[in-house]
Structure 1
Amino acid sequence: MKPLLDLRHLQLIQAINQTGRITDAAKMLGVTPSALSHRLREAERRLDVPLFTRMHKKLRKTPAADYMAVVAERILTDLSRAEDDVRRMNANVQHVVRLSVEAYSNYRWLPYFIKFLKSRTDGIDIQIMAGARSDPLNGVLNRHIDIAVMSGSVAQAGLYSLPLFEDPLLYIMPPTHRLADREFVEGTDIVGEQFITYTKVPEPDREFALLFRPTDSYPKWAATVELPEAIVELVASDLGTSVLSKWALQTPLTEGRIVGARVTEDGISVPWCAVLRTEDMDDGDPILQVANLLSEWCSLPEGGFHVT
């Protein structure tokens, strides 16, 4: 059965969804507004459902357009990715493995790992999918990415978890902070401190359960910022304190813009792992090969995510 819509219609829906105006969408696609209006009417005729309604000079999406916009985004993204893959094949790259790191966008380790990868295998390239870092597990399951570097333990049907390294959490603060000379902090030390958190959802192996609850001591919640790099900048500007993974803090710590202390005297270490689909666990699969090499590299004295 022939599809009702073609790629031109999907591009139209995506463009109008992004701009809200026929004229702006036409400019984005390089066509005239009249041609785009005709294409929109054709799409609505084929689907026998309105996609947009006019609200003054803007177009408002109908539920049908909302749904088609999601579909268009997925199909056009997959097509663009396939085109990139084909171009890479022309450069002697047979496999592209897409990878994302949970929460953090610190990729100082990446060039070192790529050199290690190229020394051990040929024809495999790494593509970083930074947009998947907020929900990497779903990214793996829906095949948007192939490997998610995650913290904590992961036990979910259809996924395999390969241990990579253990990493301590650090209580970070500006160099002028009253606790800046401490080797470690306890919950009672930071009562009332301005605290910037990545998430207020408690996790059993993190600071909420192991630092705050044992002494029923809590800081003053200043803000929730879902970008660790932004948290670092706020802390460096003396606008609060936070708790983050040490591996991602190497640059600001080395530069002296922030200082860090262990979280509790014994410290809190969080396991990090590489998560991939169980269907990609066959011997020789390039995704499994990259995951295994990542694990091996993390075990080397000169390797791992702490490289600077």
Structure 2
Amino acid sequence: MEIRHLQTIIEIVRRNSFTGAAEALHVTQPTISKTIRNLERELNVELFVRDSKTVKLTDAGETILRHAGAILQSFDLLMTELNDLTYLKRGTIRIGLPPMAGSSFFPVVIKRFQERYPGIAIKLEEEGATRIVEGISDGTLDAGVVLPPFDEEKFDSFPLVKERLKLVVPPSHRMAGRQSVNLGELSEERFILFSREFALHGIINRACESMGFSPRIVYESSQWDFIGEMVASDLGISMLPDTICRLLNPDKVRAIELVDPVIPWHLAMVWKREGYHSLAIREWIQFTRAQFAE
């Protein structure tokens, strides 16, 4: 018995016709009939009732049909995984990156990966961590960079970066000359934050609330450089990771240590724990882990 025999039986039953099955499989009707006769001789059983005007399976035919679907599904999965042996020569992987992580940490990593695997296209989705988690969950993304916490029963991960947030103020601000600032001192300030779909928005909100106040948010943006420019224009203050602060123009803004409490900014690469992962995405995960371990 061969896979094509199972495919033929399924199509005959699905179309309720030998002729319909022949059309679906792009062969002639005599070919279908010959395939079934040869299989019946091989198994020494009859699969279809011959004297019926409609297609009707015998008990043996019903038994084969009952198992055929699962066998074909397993076969398709087998072929997919075998085809992945050449997947590193071509294919696409879909990675979600928050704006800050993408601009700060990944250009060099992506360049090195493309040099090693030039046939693999990397489709980048620049989103906030919240939407990235949703994309990995629903399968529209293969992996992504997010801020903990996340559901560790649902996602596998490894750490990428461990930093903390700094206070960003214009040079004219009353705290611009300070070495450090307590979070509680900012209760009357005007805040410029990332948009609500970004995990950092919620992290800052919760930190402020733990100190007994809700931040007065006057502007929101999805771009760290625009946030920096708004701070430079004295429209408010912000909090950004140390890496991003080093990219801002020191003549336009001041970055100050934020203490009591320290607000961590940790990044992790995550992917779905369950389900099939292509060889390409597995290689991306292994490659990225090695790059950040250096």
| TM-score, normalised by the number of residues in structure 2 | 0.58
Residues 259-268 or 164-173, more deviating = 259-268
Contact 2:245–2:255, Cα closer than 8 Å, also in 1: no
1:298 aligned residue:
292
Deviations 1:159-182 (A, max 9, x none): 322221212111111122221222
Q: Which has the higher helix share?
A: 2
Aligned match of 1:273 in 244, 268, 272?
268
Deviations 1:182-215 (A, max 9, x none): 232113322311112335799899334445523x
Aligned match of 1:234 in 230, 235, 243?
230
Matched, 1:97 2:90: no
1:73 aligned residue:
none
CA distance in 1, matches of 2:172, 2:159: 37
The CA RMSD measured in Å over matched residues stands at 3.5
CA distance in 2, matches of 1:128, 1:258: 30
CA distance in 1, matches of 2:270, 2:155: 7
CA 1:200–1:286: 2 relative to 1, 3 Å: closer
Contact 2:129–2:147, Cα closer than 8 Å, also in 1: no
Identity %: 19
1:206 aligned residue:
203
Residues 161-170 or 217-226, more deviating = 217-226
Aligned match of 1:155 in 136, 151, 162?
151
Query: Structure 1 stretches (4+) deviating beyond 6 angstroms?
Result: 200-205
CA 1:265–1:97: 2 relative to 1, 3 Å: same
CA 1:199–1:186: 2 relative to 1, 3 Å: farther
Secondary structure class of the residue paired with 1:179: coil
Which one-letter code corresponds to 2:287 in the other structure?
L
Secondary structure class of the residue paired with 1:192: coil
Deviation of 1:238 (Å): 0.9
CA distance in 1, matches of 2:129, 2:262: 26
CA distance in 2, matches of 1:204, 1:109: 20
CA 1:247–1:99: 2 relative to 1, 3 Å: farther
Secondary structure class of the residue paired with 1:252: coil
Corresponding residue pairs, total = 208
CA distance in 1, matches of 2:146, 2:166: 18
CA 1:266–1:173: 2 relative to 1, 3 Å: same
- Can you give the 5+ residue segments of structure 2 that lack an aligned partner in the other structure? 1-13, 15-86
CA distance in 2, matches of 1:130, 1:257: 27
Deviations 1:124-150 (A, max 9, x none): 342212257661112112232212110
| TM-score, normalised by the number of residues in structure 1 | 0.56
Deviations 1:40-75 (A, max 9, x none): xxxxxxxxxxxxxxxxxxxxxxxxxxxxxxxxxxxx
Which one-letter code corresponds to 1:100 in the other structure?
G
CA 1:252–1:281: 2 relative to 1, 3 Å: farther
CA 1:235–1:208: 2 relative to 1, 3 Å: same
